[in-house]
Structure 1
Amino acid sequence: MPELPEVETVRRGVDAAFRGGRISAVEVYNPRTVRRHATGVADFQRSLAGLEVTGSGRRGKFMWLGLDDGRALVCHLGMSGQLHVVTDGREAHKHLRGRMRFSDDRELWFIDQRTFGYWDLVDMDGAVPATVAHIAPDVFETAFDPGLSADRLLRRRIEVKKALLDQTWISGVGNIYADEALWRSRLRGRRTGDSLTRRKALELLGHVGDVLTESLAVGGTSFDELYVDARGEAGYFARELAVYGRAGQPCKRCATPIVREVIGDRSAHYCPKCQR
């Protein structure tokens, strides 16, 4: 699933292409793509036609386009969703689920092989869409308080790996970046939040921010064709991964083979020597 760096990379590409653009028509090819729009596909298409894109935003793994009627088009990429900026007359992709046509003849395509992603047209709730308001701020938002977040982590009696994936107190962190931040902090994901010192909790949150920043700088992490940016290009952070997806390979710090385990139905990768 695309995580914060991948979603932010896509948002930047879409914003650069379509901010100030006017939507001339919308075509939805799979009703699952707009399954959250209660009044159906036809109403969704009609509601967007003629509106101007005024900007964009993101919280965690959710991104949205601001519209000149005060609402937002929320996009969640799910497991395999992609947003492509299309400026030529290429043949439609076999997994094309939605197409947004603009008045200058450019198009925004929503491609989603597994159909877990969606588009949703919603009202704003302050700075974020109403359907995103329950998601906690991510580490790049001014509303994110490292000290308060560390204190919340210290009260958790669940595994730290599971806590990092809980979007109600810190958003945007998924399997890849949780494993990488834990490795940098020398913490095993099975440690419980209440077993950490406050200093260690703050260190971990600092590494979360670091690894997300570094991944964003190179366009995110691509393992296959399911994640590409808005121009169809892959991210390159996979080259920098220390533990995720490297089971059996030597730790980059001590050469001990990396181990894969399962925590809360999610895979976890760690060094049994470095991480305690």
Structure 2
Amino acid sequence: MPSQHDAPLRPEDPRKIGPYALTGRLGEGGQGVVYLAEDREGRAVAVKVLKGGPIASPKARGRFIKEAGAASRVEAPQVARVLDAKVTAERPYLVSEYVRGRTLQEEVAESGPLKGPELHKIALRCAVGLAAIHRAQVVHRDLKPGNVVLGPRGAKIIDFGVARFLDGRTPQTTHPLGTPAYMSPEQVEDLHIGPESDVFAWGATVVYAATGRPPFGAGPTAAVMRRITDREPELGALRGNLRGLVVRCLDKEPAARPTAPEIVRFLRAEARPAAPAARPKSVPRYRSRMIIALVVVSTLGFVCGMLF
């Protein structure tokens, strides 16, 4: 889902799906179309409808069912929550929370790269969301700036279109799935995909947020994939400890990358203000006067002894 800005419905679009009245288009991908809609109470929601409807292939329906199951497992303020799903309907659909705001991709493209506390806050919220996704035994597999919406309550991860379970219920694909610029080397080479792949995508997403471009550049898909597997990332203006963390996340070897909870702990520690230096204990005023008096008396006694 590339954008949270709605566009008008097209003539071929349905006007209603289940009990939801469609009011606009939010985005379109290979698997489905996402609509802005209203529920029975008039609340805004996002409704993803499987392309093809009644004539969708069993494979496409299977993927849609998988997406609904994966998204429904995750409960976290940093991840758009699933509200409803009808995967066996003539037009299968998935209803999720509508997050009003620009995607991270739109924000950076329109307003420039992020830095300082703003960059740190978005990086942390995405990492917390990713940790919740992995805790639910799900791998997102398509984390990218276009799937992070900057809502009024902070960044939220959206779209589980190519997600898979970690419990072995979802078979591996026969070709790489995801967005090339944010794929991990193991995705490019169609190897086993685990949480480490999402961590790689998190690092690539942070690079985009900080520099305005993905770490392995743009261009033809084959060229981007070759850079991901063979070249070091370009981190541009990314500096400090966050740069070091991102370098670890973009390691070619999955086992060398930190886990999402480790990223969260690191970023929270970075955000914690340093403890102020301990101030020397002050001597109470009455004690300081006594000490001065004793010193004076001792000194006078010594002088008198010398004179007499």
| TM bucket, shorter chain | 0.3 to 0.5
Q: Higher helix share goes to which structure?
A: 2
- The TM-score normalised by the length of structure 2 is 0.32
Bigger Rg, which one: 2
Q: Higher strand share goes to which structure?
A: 1
Higher normalized contact order (CA 8 Å, seq sep 6+, divided by chain length): 1
- The TM-score normalised by the length of structure 1 is 0.35
